[in-house]
Amino acid sequence: MQTLIKNTNAYRLLKTEILKDGHSHAYLVVFDDPKHLKTALRSFAKLLFYAEENDYGEYDDPALKRVADLIEGDKYPDCLVYPRNEKRLTAEEAEEIVEECAVRPVEGERKVFLIDKFDEALPAAQNKLLKVLEEPPQGVVFLLGARTVYPVLTTVRSRTQKLEILPFSLEEVGACMRRNYSETYSEQQISLVSALSCGSVGSAENFLLQGYYQSVVEDAFALCLSDPFNLPAVVKKVSDKHKKELLTLIRLIFRDALFLKTALRGGADKSTLLRRAEKHLFLRPEKKRIESVSEKYTLRSLIFAQDKLTEAEKQLKFNANFTQCIEICIASILEENK
């Protein structure tokens, strides 16, 4: 995970600003992966204390390795971590932070406040930090972690510089999952959870370790292979617990089906074309069912499906009814397939 974070634009931007001694006093780190948000904040905190590994994954100075290890364990005295109870920042903790800002650093010239899940903090807690966010004492830096900026007060946003870590590519998630889990889980399992991840390693790990990815896969293929007559019954059986991941998987199913459909128009032997196309599929372990979807739909309807799924994703962001949204989406694709 550290490797992925270090390759993000957000990490490179902060590193550049530190090297030029022009970093901000407060950053809003936006990363839609609650499982690894604090990991990202710790990585940024290490940068602020110059405790970064070299190109070989080692530390040139033992003192910097000590700092990095202490930050990793939330034990470095000049990097204070909140909330204390792993829930959300309270107004009392915000007051404590304000008081701590006035206390000089223990070891150096810089003190960092690492606040996880800041988007879950109530307005009262956020408001108490406004003054120190605008005019912090010399050497104080804030790292505020959030999955999304919308719950963060506008007044807080205006006092911070945003560092956004965008969703990782399917290939990046897959590579990370293989590094960590290939000895325990099969390639098929890792490929499927990577496809379900929506660019989040944390989501991929949750699907893999908690074992509910297969039910999402079955729901997705049931919807893609349904017909206008049984669609309402299929939709009723689909869980909305992982609606974002389900839509992502349906999109990938139609994407792979479209790729096969296009590849088979090459005129060569069908088996040869399928072998050539297989290495480009995101869902290679589900090749047989992807072939069924490809055979079921026309080229035009498979292209149309991508637009309809984009529309459905936008509607769900604005709290549209999931069951109704997914039924209308698939019904439209089936109608286009006539």
Same domain, 110 and 240: no
pLDDT of residue 36: 95
* Local confidence pLDDT in tens for the 338 residues of the chain: 888 999 999 999 999 998 888 889 999 999 999 999 999 999 999 999 988 877 667 778 888 899 999 999 999 999 999 998 878 999 999 999 999 999 999 998 899 999 999 999 999 999 999 999 988 888 999 999 999 999 999 999 999 999 999 999 988 999 999 999 999 888 888 888 888 788 899 988 988 888 778 888 899 999 999 999 999 999 988 877 788 888 888 998 999 999 888 876 655 566 666 666 677 777 777 888 998 999 999 999 999 999 999 888 888 877 778 888 999 999 999 999 98
Same domain, 219 and 152: no
Same domain, 159 and 28: yes
pLDDT of residue 201: 94
Within 49-122, residue ranges assigned H as helices are: 62-72, 91-101
Pairing of strands 111-115, 79-82: parallel
Closest to 79 in 3D by CA, of 115, 53, 132: 115
Instruction: Decide: helix, strand or coil at residue 165.
Output: strand
Same domain, 148 and 59: yes
The whole-angstrom separation of Cα 263 and Cα 237 is 33
Flag whether 237 is in a domain.
yes
Same domain, 59 and 158: yes
The whole-angstrom separation of Cα 130 and Cα 159 is 8
Q: Say which CATH number the domain at 280 has.
A: 1.20.272.10
Flag whether 43 is in a domain.
yes
Beta-carbon-side half-sphere exposure of residue 50 (alpha carbons within 13 Å): 12
Same domain, 125 and 225: no
Same domain, 216 and 141: no
Q: Which domain holds residue 151?
A: 2-165
Q: CB under 8 Å to 63, separation ≥6 — which residues?
A: none
**Cβ–Cβ under 8 Å, residues 29 and 144:** yes
pLDDT of residue 327: 92
pLDDT of residue 272: 65
Same domain, 157 and 254: no
Same domain, 74 and 150: yes
Residue 205 burial by CB count (10 A; 0-12/13-18/19+): exposed, middle or buried? buried
> At which of 165, 181, 201 does a domain end?
165
Flag whether 300 is in a domain.
yes
Flag whether 241 is in a domain.
yes
Here the tokens at position 102 are 């006035």
Q: How far is CA 58 from the centre of its chain?
A: 27
The rounded radius of gyration (Å) of the Cα atoms in the chain is 24
Same domain, 158 and 253: no
Same domain, 8 and 157: yes
Flag whether 48 is in a domain.
yes
Same domain, 222 and 292: yes
The count of structural domains within the chain is: 2
pLDDT of residue 113: 96
Q: Say which CATH number the domain at 103 has.
A: 3.40.50.300
- Looking at the DSSP bridge assignments, the partners of residue 146 are 30
The whole-angstrom separation of Cα 230 and Cα 52 is 57
Here the tokens at position 216 are 């999402």
- Looking at the DSSP bridge assignments, the partners of residue 29 are 145, 163
Flag whether 195 is in a domain.
no
Flag whether 205 is in a domain.
no
Flag whether 131 is in a domain.
yes
Q: What are phi and psi of 158, to 5 degrees?
A: -70, -15
